[in-house]
Amino acid sequence: MTIIAPDAIPQVALASMNATHAEEVELVGRIGALLQQDAAALDRSSLHAALNEWLEHTRQHFEREHALMERSGFPAYAIHRGEHERVLGTIERMVAAALGGGDLGLLRHFILEEWPAWFDPHVRTMDTATAQFARMRGLAE
């Protein structure tokens, strides 16, 4: 399932961040496809594995960005990190509920509606500024 088309992912000034964003979109697309299945056909073990993979990927993604912001002295570090913490908290709650056998309706809504509505503007604003600042500070790949 395509939640965000690969060619629609906003590109930033650092290739490593672009690669991470592409991986994230692919993972969320896999989860979205699983959640679109009929409940009786849904392979919960595949869903749980995909959710755990996404959660770990997101944690590592955000930590790499935090380290980059710290190394570069990015002025809006606290704001950007706070946004990551807010979203990661939501993802952790959604994944915990799904792994606990809860209703998947909230997770489905988050994956199909809320996450894409957050991801695109986040990359276009906070990640774009972070990557450009890091590049200007000589931290390009």
Indicate if the pLDDT at residue 140 is higher than 90: no
pLDDT above 70 covers what percent of the chain?
Answer: 99
CA distance 94 to 84: 15
pTM: 0.94
- Token look-up 């996404």 returns 54
Q: Position 19: which residue type? A: A
Query: pLDDT digit string (tens) for 2-39?
Result: 899 999 999 999 999 999 999 999 999 999 999 999 87
Indicate if the pLDDT at residue 114 is higher than 80: yes
Q: Which fold has domain 12-136?
A: Four Helix Bundle (Hemerythrin (Met), subunit A) (1.20.120)
Q: What is the pLDDT of residue 102?
A: 84
Indicate if the pLDDT at residue 78 is higher than 80: yes
Strands (E) across the chain are located at none
Indicate if the pLDDT at residue 141 is higher than 70: no
Q: What is the pLDDT of residue 133?
A: 98
Q: Enumerate the domain spans of the chain.
A: 12-136
Cα within 13 Å of Cα(4), Cβ side: 24
CA distance 130 to 65: 8
| Average pLDDT of span 80-103 | 95
Burial class of 71 by CB neighbour count within 10 A (0 to 12, 13 to 18, 19+): exposed
